[in-house]
Amino acid sequence: MKPMAKNGILIVIVAVLAFAPLFLVRNGEFAGADDRAEKAISTIDANYKPWFKPLWEPPSGEVESILFALQAALGSGFVFYYLGYAKGKHSASKKDQA
């Protein structure tokens, strides 16, 4: 099998792993850590008060989501820039040899 076909299969597996829980766990809230962890800690130590607040918090879920999207976009932008660069360099050096 070609490497690209293999990678395609791998991507499909990852997508299934990532999205299957949405269908498998019908009543899940799929919330993140923050408030839930607070509860878990307070069941162990009811008197614990966080002693430091984040310096800045995204004012809303929308603002938070754009920051997360930005993080992913910047990261994947560079990852794929590099992969393209490597591929281009590879085929250029192949041409030189030929």
Residues that bind another protein (CB under 8 A): 2-3, 6-7, 10-11, 13-14, 17-22, 24-25, 27-34, 36-38, 40-41, 44-45, 48, 50-58, 64, 67-69, 71-72, 74-79, 82-83, 85-87, 89-90
Angle at 62 between CA 61 and CA 67, to 5 degrees: 95
Residue number with CB closer to another protein (24 or 98): 24
C-alpha 4: how far from chain center: 22
Report the alpha-carbon distance of residue 5 to residue 35 in Å, rounded. 42
Residue number with CB closer to another protein (40 or 98): 40
Report the alpha-carbon distance of residue 39 to residue 41 in Å, rounded. 5
The least CB distance from residue 60 to another protein, in Å, is 12
Residue number with CB closer to another protein (3 or 95): 3
Are 58 and 67 within 8 A, CB to CB?
yes
The least CB distance from residue 17 to another protein, in Å, is 5
